[in-house]
Amino acid sequence: MMRRRRTVTILTAAVLVLGVVGAVAFSTATGVVSEIFAEKGDYEGEGKDEIVITVIPGSSAREVANHLVEQDVIMSSKPFLDEIEKRDAVIQAGDFTMRKQMSSAAAVEALINPLANQRLAIPEGFSIKQIKGRMLDSGMDEASINEAIDEKKPADYGLDIEAPSLEGYLYPATYEIRPNMTAEQMVQEMVDKTKTEIDQIGIPADKVNEVFTLASIVQVEAPGNPEDRAKVARVFLNRIDKGQALQSDATVSYIHGARSDLTTTQEERESDNPYNTYKHTGLPPGPINSPSAEAVDAAQNPADGPWLFFVAVNPDTGETKYAETYADHQKNVEEYRVWLREHRKNNPSDDAEGEG
């Protein structure tokens, strides 16, 4: 199945722009932006309305200042940068709980006193690899993170279910990082939140891994529209009932990493890895990410329908078409290929067109 992969973080898209494309924009336009912001002065006091701000590794003080202005945390960049210079402060990477309309002095204090203010934001759909990266960026020790997560299962943290690893069971939420908090304590909180969700929904213990595994695939294949989530869940269940392979590019990308053009290669789809749903029928051994509550709901309450295929014919808009027959599916796939050809200037290979 083909689907545009999206990760929705608790931070706005501006963070991702800051870390990727925006780095160039800030470096070339910083002078103009700073001059405009500098005219606005400074807020007073500790601010209002909490907001989680992510400082990505390698961000300059000016980049952080400009982002804080965009999020209305501070009024302008110059007082903030002056405060940074006065304190000779160094801003660490991580997730920080701040407030809208803070004074520059209060904003700097929130960033340089992470033990009192730091938060760890785990977005829905994050894999263990991504979660470990966030924990590392927050300042936790890498060895301790690995010890708390690697080769561990939910049962090791009191969630009595059968699952191959902690993948899928580290609940996506925002966590407070308390002074002297260990990686193991943080993981325990994540698993405890997952256990609470399972108990509230009432999923039988012997069905949890099945539900969460399906939900994690739905999370990637249908990240936004509730109707599509329910339909995609039904497609996979229909294929399982007929003994057909799921053919989800989401699981192949979990093995090999997502490609820039959102597809998988023929070689990747021929892998013997148990998570390759092109090669193996049924669900993979366990979840491929930490699914949202909405994705879990879709896995438990799929739509009614005979569909066996789906394809996002326009990943930009999320428009998805469903089919009961392979012939109809191929017509939908051709629509997707038209979109793909128009968006493949940087990757002209025709080999990467996974389909189900």
Q: Which two tokens stand for residue 121?
A: 């934001």
Q: What whole-number distance in Å separates Cα of residue 6 and Cα of residue 342? A: 19
Q: Which two tokens stand for residue 98?
A: 């701040």
Q: What whole-number distance in Å separates Cα of residue 165 and Cα of residue 187? A: 13
- What count of other Cβ atoms lies within 10 Å of the Cβ of residue 128? 19
Q: What angle do CA 134, 140, 141 make, to 5 degrees?
A: 120
Angle between helices 208-221 and 293-300 (to 10 degrees): 110
Bridge partners, 314 (sequence order): 319
Q: Check if the beta carbon of residue 51 is closer than 8 Å to that of residue 98.
A: yes
One digit per residue, pLDDT tens: the chain, 356 residues? Answer: 544 433 333 333 333 333 333 333 333 334 444 444 445 699 998 888 888 889 988 899 999 999 999 999 999 999 999 999 999 988 988 888 888 999 999 999 889 875 555 778 999 999 999 999 999 988 899 999 999 999 999 999 999 999 999 999 999 999 988 777 899 999 999 999 999 999 999 999 999 999 999 999 999 998 878 999 999 999 999 999 999 999 999 999 999 887 655 578 888 898 999 999 999 999 999 999 999 999 999 999 999 999 999 998 888 888 899 999 999 999 999 999 998 888 775 455 444 444 45
Q: Which two tokens stand for residue 335?
A: 């629509």
Chain-centre distance for alpha carbon 279: 26
Q: Which two tokens stand for residue 329?
A: 């599916």
pTM exceeds 0.85 for this model: no
Q: Check if the beta carbon of residue 202 is closer than 8 Å to that of residue 271.
A: no
pLDDT for residue 29: 38
- Radius of gyration of the CA atoms of the chain, in A: 22
Q: What whole-number distance in Å separates Cα of residue 29 and Cα of residue 246? A: 47
Bridge partners, 320 (sequence order): 312
Dihedral angle sign, alpha carbons of residues 75, 81, 86, 92 = positive
Q: Which residue reads 């590794």 in tokens? A: 57
Q: What angle do CA 223, 118, 131 make, to 5 degrees?
A: 40
Q: What angle do CA 127, 129, 133 make, to 5 degrees?
A: 115
